[in-house]
Structure 1
Amino acid sequence: MKTHDAKAGWHRRTLIRLAGTLGLAALVAPGVAAAQNAVVVAHAAGINGQAVEAILKDYTAETGVKATGITMSDTDYGAKMQLAARTGNVDFDVALGVGSDVFALTKGDGIYAGIDTSGWKKETLAGMQEAKLIGDDYAVSQDTAALMVYGKALADNPPKTWGDFFDTKKYPGNRGMASGGLGVPIDIEYALIASGKDPAKLYPLDYDAAFAVLDKVAKDIVLWDNAPKGIQDLVNGDTVMTWSYAPAALSAIAAGQDIKLAAPPGTAVTRQLGVVMAKGPNGEDAGQAFFAWWFRPENQKKYTELTNYGIVVPSQEVLKQFSPEQSAYMPFSGAHPENYRTLGYDYYSAEGDLGQSNLALTLDRWNQFRAR
C-alpha cells in the first residue's frame, strides 16, 4: 500500500440523531436583535469555515450586531464542549459543525439551549420538518457527500459503481482513499458495497467481506490525509480514481481542474450539527437570533455557493433556489437523490465487542490492514 502521509488517528464516534435547520426566529421578535451587540460563532476549518466567515460580515451589516468567528478543529470541539459541560463556561454563543458524538456525550449536561422556533417563517420551518432535520436543541449544519472522482483518461469509459472503483483489471491504476478519521468507515463501506452488499443493509459491518476487497487492491492504494491532497494526487497522475468530499472536488473543478465526478448508489453523506449554547458570553438570545438568521434559505444558498455546492442542508426551501446543474452533486438532490445515504452514526457510536465502540473496532481493523 502506498501512502503519502502519516497515519491519521480517528477524531470521533458519531451518531445519526438527525437534526434540523431553521428560518428566522429571534430576529423577527420585537427588540431581540436590538438588545444584543455581539455574537461569537464557532465553526470548522477549511472551505466551509471560510464560507462562514464571509457570511458573518453579512450578519453584522444587516443587524448591526458584531459577529466574530472562531475556527475549531474536531478535537477542539470535543475539548471545548466537555469543558463547558464540567464548568458551565463557554466562549462562543453558537457552534456550527459539531460532531454528533460530541453532542451525544454532552447533551445531557444542560449546555445546549432548546431552539425557539416561535418566530420562524412557516414555509421554512415546514421544509426543515419535512426533511427531518429538526431536533429540540440541535440542527443539521451541513451535509457533505463523499463522491467518486476520476481523471480525464477514464472519461470515455467512466466508472459507474463502487465495484468499478475497486476493479483494477477494468480500470488499471492507483486508487486514492482516506488514511484516517471518519474517512476510514467510508473506505470500508465502499469496499463492502463493492463486495455486493446492499448499501441499505451495511450494518453490522462484514469486515471479512470488506477487507477481502481491500486486500486485492492494497498495493494500488494511495492514502490521503485531507480531501484536497487526494484531488491533487489524482491531478498529478499518482492515482486514476479517488473518493473525495464534495467541497474539495467541486472547488477543484471551479479552479479549472479537468476531473470528473460520480455519485454511485451507496454514496455516503457525512453530517454535522449546529447548536446554540445556553450560557454563551453574549447570552442565549444572541445565539438564538444568529441561529435563526443563519438558517434562512437565502443565507444557506450563499453558504452553498461559497462551498461550491458541496455542502447544503437538504431543504426544498434551499434546493429550489438552484438549477439542476448546480444541485447535481448536492446530497439527496440532483438527478439521483436515491443514490445517497447518511453514514451510520448510530452504529459507529454503539458499543461493540470488548467494550469498544464500533468505530474504534473499525479503526483497529483498518490499522491492522495498513500494518500488513
Structure 2
Amino acid sequence: MLKKIALTFMGMALAVSLTACGGSNQASNPQSDQGSNEVKPAAQTAGVSKELVVMDWGGAISEAHKKAIFEPFEKANHVKITLVSPTDYGKFKAMVQSGNVGVDVVNVDSDFVIRGAAQNLLEKLDYSVINKDGILKDLVNDYGIGAELFSTAIAYNTDKFPAGSHPKNWTEFWDVKKFPGPRSLWKYPTGTLEAALLADGVKPEELYPLDVDRAFASLDKIKKDVKVWWNAGAQPPQLLANGEVVLAEAWNGRISTAKKEGAPEEVEFNQALIMGDSWVIPKGTPNKDLAMKFIAFAVAPEQQAAFSSNIDYAPVNQKALDLLPDKVKENLGQSADKAKNQIVVNIKWWVENFDTINERFEQWLLK
C-alpha cells in the first residue's frame, strides 16, 4: 500500500528498502553510472589490524559515504576500509555461490534485499548489534536495512520556466501545450510508469497495483515529445543545462548538484517518487561480525545526518532529521511542505512484476 511521506516519515509505508527496482541493471541506481572507476580506498588509520571490503555504487555517493561513514568508522575501530565499485549483482551472486566471498558489505537497490534473500545470497542481520530504532520500519528486513533515500522528480530549466512557472505535477509535465518544449524520461519502467499514471489522473494512494495498460496508453500521449530517453543519472542535468530539453524526470541529488555548480535548473518535489538503497552482507563473508558493526555505525543518526549533509539524499533514520538544519532538509525535499506530497515506490510489487513489464517497455520503446 502506498502512502504519502511526511517530514518525520511517520506512517510511511515503504514496500522495500529502496531504488529503482529490477536491480540486475546497475544503471538503476542514482550513482551507478559514475561507478566505472573503482573508488580509492579510504586512508589507512595508524594501528590498523583489520580490513573491511565494501562494495558501493561509486561516484558522488561513495564520496559522501567515505566522508560521513567510512573514514569515521576506520578511526573509531582501527579498521581499513577498501572500496570496490560499482555494485555488481552478477559478481555478487558468483562470489557467494563459489564460496569465495571477498566482499563484506554491499550497498544495493532495496529490491535486491528481497530477491537476494530468496536466492540464499545474504546473511541474516543481527539486530542485537544493529539498532533499528528510528529506521523506517519497512526498510528494516531480516536480510537488509535502509542506507539512504532519493527522489525521482520533475526537473526543469529555470531559464525556460522562471519564477515558479514550471509544471507542478506529472499531469502538467505531460501537458505539452501549456508547457511546450522537449522532454526527457528515464529509460526504465520503475518510476516512469508511476509518473505516467499520475499524469493520467490516478490518485497516489490508488497507484498499486499499477494499471499497466493505462500507463502505456499515457506514455503513448507524450512519446513524440520525449527527445531523450536517458539511462544514466548524469544525463538529465546535462540535457537541462544545455537546453536540449526543458523538462526531465531526474534524480533529485543530480539536479541539486548541477544547480550548486551554476546550472539553470531546479527540482519540483511534488509527486516525486521515493526510492532508495540498502546495506546487506553477502552470505559466507569471514568478517560477518565486523560487517554487522559497520552497518550499525552506518545507520546511526549521526552518520546518517553527516551523509545527508554531504549529498542531497535523505536519511533513512528519522532521528537524523532532527540533527539537520532547515536549509539542508529543504534541499533534501524533507521540509514539511515538500515531504508530504512525495510518493513511495512499491518495490515489492515491482519485484513480482518487473521482468514482464520491462520486456514490454523495451518493445514499446522500439515502436
TM-score range (shorter-chain normalised) is 0.7 to 0.9
Matched, 1:91 2:93: no
Alpha-carbon offset, residue 146 of structure 1: 0.5
Q: Secondary structure in 2 aligned to 1:269?
A: strand
Q: Among residues 115, 136, 158, which one is paired with 1:105 in the alignment?
A: 115
Q: Among residues 204, 217, 241, which one is paired with 1:199 in the alignment?
A: 204
Aligned ranges 1:88-237 → 2 under 5 Å? 88-96=99-107, 98-108=108-118, 111-118=121-128, 125-128=132-135, 131-152=137-158, 153-156=160-163, 157-179=165-187, 183-221=188-226, 222-237=228-243
Q: Secondary structure in 1 aligned to 2:329?
A: coil
Q: Distance in 1 between matches of 2:183 and 2:75?
A: 46
Alpha-carbon offset, residue 141 of structure 1: 1.2
Q: Distance in 2 between matches of 1:331 and 1:81?
A: 33
Q: Among residues 343, 346, 365, which one is paired with 2:345 in the alignment?
A: 343
Corresponding letter in the other structure for 1:292: A
- Alignment match, 2:319: 317
Q: Note if contact 1:294-1:300 (Cα within 8 Å) is conserved in structure 2.
A: yes
Aligned ranges 1:21-100 → 2 under 5 Å? 37-54=50-67, 55-73=69-87, 76=88, 78-96=89-107, 98-100=108-110
TM-score, normalised with respect to structure 1: 0.78
Q: Among residues 254, 257, 273, which one is paired with 1:251 in the alignment?
A: 257
1:193-221 per-position Cα deviation (integer Å, ceiling 9, x unaligned): 11111122223322332233322222210
Which deviates further from its counterpart, 207-216 or 58-67? Answer: 207-216
Corresponding letter in the other structure for 2:141: G
Corresponding letter in the other structure for 2:337: A
Q: Secondary structure in 2 aligned to 1:173?
A: coil
Alpha-carbon offset, residue 329 of structure 1: 4.8
Q: Note if contact 1:43-1:52 (Cα within 8 Å) is conserved in structure 2.
A: no
Q: Secondary structure in 2 aligned to 1:237?
A: coil
Q: Which runs of 5+ in 2 are unaligned?
A: 1-21, 26-46
Alpha-carbon offset, residue 333 of structure 1: 5.4
Q: Among residues 355, 364, 367, which one is paired with 1:369 in the alignment?
A: 364
Alpha-carbon offset, residue 253 of structure 1: 1.5
CA gap of 1:185–1:226, structure 2 versus 1, over 3 A, is: same
Alpha-carbon offset, residue 295 of structure 1: 1.7
TM-score, normalised with respect to structure 2: 0.79
Q: Distance in 2 between matches of 1:299 and 1:65?
A: 17
Alpha-carbon offset, residue 335 of structure 1: 2.1
Q: Note if contact 1:328-1:335 (Cα within 8 Å) is conserved in structure 2.
A: no
Q: Distance in 2 between matches of 1:139 and 1:326?
A: 23
Alpha-carbon offset, residue 293 of structure 1: 1.6
Q: Note if contact 2:104-2:288 (Cα within 8 Å) is conserved in structure 1.
A: yes
Q: Distance in 2 between matches of 1:207 and 1:261?
A: 27
- Alignment match, 2:19: none
CA gap of 1:79–1:12, structure 2 versus 1, over 3 A, is: closer
CA gap of 1:117–1:208, structure 2 versus 1, over 3 A, is: closer
Corresponding letter in the other structure for 2:340: E
Identity %, equivalent residues: 25
Q: Note if contact 1:175-1:240 (Cα within 8 Å) is conserved in structure 2.
A: yes
CA root-mean-square deviation = 2.5
Q: Secondary structure in 2 aligned to 1:227?
A: coil
Aligned ranges 1:251-330 → 2 under 5 Å? 251-265=257-271, 267-281=272-286, 283-307=287-311, 309-313=312-316, 315-330=317-332
Alpha-carbon offset, residue 165 of structure 1: 0.6
Alpha-carbon offset, residue 101 of structure 1: 4.1
Q: Distance in 2 between matches of 1:131 and 1:110?
A: 23
Corresponding letter in the other structure for 1:239: V
Corresponding letter in the other structure for 2:94: L
Q: Which runs of 5+ in 1 are unaligned?
A: 1-9, 14-33, 351-357
Corresponding letter in the other structure for 1:346: K
Q: Distance in 2 between matches of 1:192 and 1:323?
A: 35
Q: Distance in 1 between matches of 2:205 and 2:334?
A: 15
Corresponding letter in the other structure for 2:358: L
CA gap of 1:245–1:118, structure 2 versus 1, over 3 A, is: same
Q: Note if contact 2:23-2:111 (Cα within 8 Å) is conserved in structure 1.
A: no
Q: Distance in 1 between matches of 2:207 and 2:133?
A: 31
